[in-house]
Structure 1
C-alpha cells in the first residue's frame, strides 16, 4: 500500500490520565518493525476491561494510553520477517498472545503464553518502544492491540488471519467477549449434557457463557444479575430462568443451593467482583462442583474464603479468553460462525461511529448496552 513504511496520522481515543474519559485525538502511528504488523481497524467493541483501563484499576498501565482490544481489521503493512499475514488480509488482534514458542504455548493443557501481561508490560512493544505519538508525547500501547486507534501496530504473536468472507463489524466480538464466555463453558468448565449451571453477570461475556452452556447440553441454566432488563436477552440465548439477588433477603448462594439441592454443577463469575466470586464458588455443588472465574477484579484485590469450601471436592479454576489457543483457535471459531454453528450477533446492542466513543462508555456505565461496536 502507498502508506507502507511511512508514519500514518489518524484518529485515536487517548486516555491521558487514569479516571478520564478517552479523548479523540490525531496520533502518529509509526511503521511496523521486524516481526510487527500495522493494521487498519474497521470495528472495535467496548469491553469492561477497557473501562478498567480508563478508571485506572487495570494492573501495570502507564498513561497516556490507547486502550481497546476487541476488534477486527485489515493488514495495512508488515515489517521484516513477518510470514503469518500479508497486506490486505482480514485479521483479529489477539489480546492474549500466542507466540507458539514458549513452554506454555507448547503445552496442550493451557492457552497461556509466557509473553502476555502477567509477566511483562504490554504498554510497549516487545523492543520496549512505542509506535504511537500524540502532540509530541509518547503514547503507550495496551495488550499489544490498542484498537481504539484507526491504525495500530502489534507483534505477529498478537494477530490471527481470518476468512476473507468474515464481516468485520460482527466478528470483532471473537477478539474477546464471545470467545471468552463461550470457551469458559466449552473448554474451561467442560460443561456436560444434563448439567445445571449458574452464571453471575449477564453482560456480553455472561451471555456468551449461556450460549456455551446451551451448546454443551446443560439442562438448567440460571442467569443472575441485579439488572432485570437483561433477563429477556439471557432467556433468548438459552437461560432457563433468571434471578436477581435484590429479590431475596438471604445470600444468593443460599438461594441457588435451595433451588438445586446441593448446588449447581457449574458456576461462572463474569463480573470481576470478589464477593460474587466467593458466592459463585459457594453456590456450586459441595462434592463435585466446578466454579470458573472469568471476570477480572480491579488490581490489588485478594480472594479469601474458608478452605472447607473446596476440601469436599469443589474445584475453583480460572479462564483466560475461554481457554482457546488464540492464534490457531479463533480462525476456526470464525469459520464455525460463517457456517452458522455459533451466532454472537445477538450480543451487539449498539453500533456507533468511532467519534461517539464517549457515548459508548456511557451506555456501558448505565447498563444499557451488551456490546457497543465502534465503526471507523
Structure 2
C-alpha cells in the first residue's frame, strides 16, 4: 500500500507491522510523533500492545529491559537529551543481550538549547553495545525498523534505528507500507532464547567476577561481528518479498572515482544530486553512503574506496578535541592499508544548519584542489564575525 506519510510515522507503521508487545516512551521533540501514533494504535485496538507512560527516558528503557527480559518484543523512541539520560541503561540492555529496538531521531545536544538535527547524540552512545543503522529517507526508515527486530532477535543485541530530525522525521514522502500478512512472512513471532520463567528459574544481571566478565564482553563482540552478515541475509529475504535493499554501505560510481563523498543520513540525498551534476561535467566523483556505524563496516568501506585518491567525509557531528566522528573511524579503518586514499574530514550542518547542494559542491572542489587536508576537521558554513568598525 502506497501512502504519503511523515518519516516519524513510517517508523510507527513498521512497529505496528512488527506486532510489538510493549512500548515504553517519554515524549521529547522531535521523536514524539512516533510514539503518539503508536499510543493511538494501542488505544483503538489497531495494535495489541501495552503502552507504558513513564516519567523519564531513563525509566522508559528500564521498563523495556524488564519487558524484554520477560520474553516479549519491545520498542521505544527518543532524541538528544532523552538519549543522554538513557545512557546508563543502554549498557544494561546490551550487556543483558536484550533485542530491544529503538528509533533515535538525531537532535543536537544542549546547551544551547536546540531541537534541530545533528548526529552527536547517537554517536555519543557508540560504545554501549547497540547496533546503529542510519536512514536516508522515510522508506528506508520503515524498512530498517522492520528489519531491526529480526536482526536484534537473531544476534541478541539491541538495535538503534537513527533518522535525522525534521529533514526526515517531519517530512512527508510516499512510502510503500507492507500488508500485515506480508510483514508476518518476513518477521515471525518473537521466540526468546532466554527469559524470566517461573517454571525454569534463572538468575539475571548478576555480579560478573573477573574470571567471567571478559568472556561476556567477547561474546558481545562476536555478536557484533556477525551482525553485518546477518543483516545481509535479512536484506536478501526482504528484497525477495518487497523488492528493496540498502546494504550496510552503498557505493555509487566508485569504480572510476578519484574523489569519493562519504555521507550518512539525509545529507546523502542532497549529495546524490551533486554527484549527478558533477558527473555530467566529467568529474570523476563517487559516493559512499554509510548506513551501518555499529558494527563498523570495515571491509565494505575498504573495498569501495580502494581505487580513490581522496575521500571527502561529511560529518554532521563532532567529538570535541578530536574531530568529525565518521572521519575518525574511516581513518582508523584505512590506516593499516599499504595504499589508501587521503581522508578529508568536513564538519557541516551542526544544530540543523542546512547542507545544500552548494555546500557539498564546495566540499568537492576544496578536496580536489587541496594536496592535503588543511586540518583534521574542516568546518564548513561558519558565520564569520563582522569586521571591527
When the two structures are superposed, what TM-score results if normalisation uses the length of structure 1? 0.28
TM-score when normalising by structure 2? 0.27
- Report which of the two has the higher share of strand: 1
